[in-house]
Amino acid sequence: TDESIMPQPEDYCHVTLAFPVGGWHSQHEMVTACVLQTLLGGGSSFSAGGPGKGMYTRMYRNVLNRFGKVESAEAVTSFTDETGLMGVSGSTAAPEMVHDLVMILTEQLINVIAKQITDEELLRAKNMLKCNVLSQLESRLVLFEDIGRQVLTYDKHESAKTTCARIDAVKAEDMKMLIAKMLQSGPTIAATGKHLDKVPNDREVSRWLR
């Protein structure tokens, strides 16, 4: 566990909780994390809506649509060769909301284990992720970068069809097992902006996860 607090001249408090996951060489865990990120989804409190905007994701339904003082809430991932990070991030301008925001974000991770992942939301998350992957690869620049990264990492290039098959292979139980593994490691917390004295430390958040 660790924490980093950085005051910045702005109105919002931005908080991220992250946990270690597998990297590029742990393909099934990495793909599972990506499906889970898409299932949790999220974004800004204002959205024009429309197809593909993720308005049915858990962060929108359970956080942004319920708590008016939360400006943003989303699941995040970052991967390197051997390791990666997955977590949740959010922001608010209300000092009285900062502590609750961290608790609400933490609950979204716990609820992956505690509540059922329906077939409908799992299929929606997989389809959204495949759509994102395929639409990105329509850019020749992104395609070349993807080929280069895969050759450097795996000594081969994997087709989009194979990637989509890996996404389709992810089960609800895989995501529950990944979250359980993540929560056992304890959180790393990063916060920036205003009202940082309201951000709970990593020890307090770890108690919520027990």
CATH number of the domain residue 197 falls in: 3.30.830.10
CA distance 205 to 93: 21
Which residues of the chain fall below pLDDT 50? none
- pLDDT for res 53: 55
Give the pTM. 0.89
Domain extent at residue 101: 2-117+174-208
pLDDT score, position 47: 60
Domain count within the chain = 1
**Residue 137: inside a domain:** no
Give the per-residue pLDDT at 6: 63
DSSP string, 107-157: HHHHHHHHS---HHHHHHHHHHHHHHHHHHTTSHHHHHHHHHHHHHHHSS-
For residue 73, what pLDDT is reported?
Answer: 96
Domain membership flag for residue 83? yes
Specify the pLDDT at position 209. Answer: 86
76-93 per-position pLDDT tens digit: 999 998 999 999 999 999
Q: Extract the tokens encoding 146.
A: 């993807």
CA-CA distance, 62 to 55, in Å (whole number)?
11
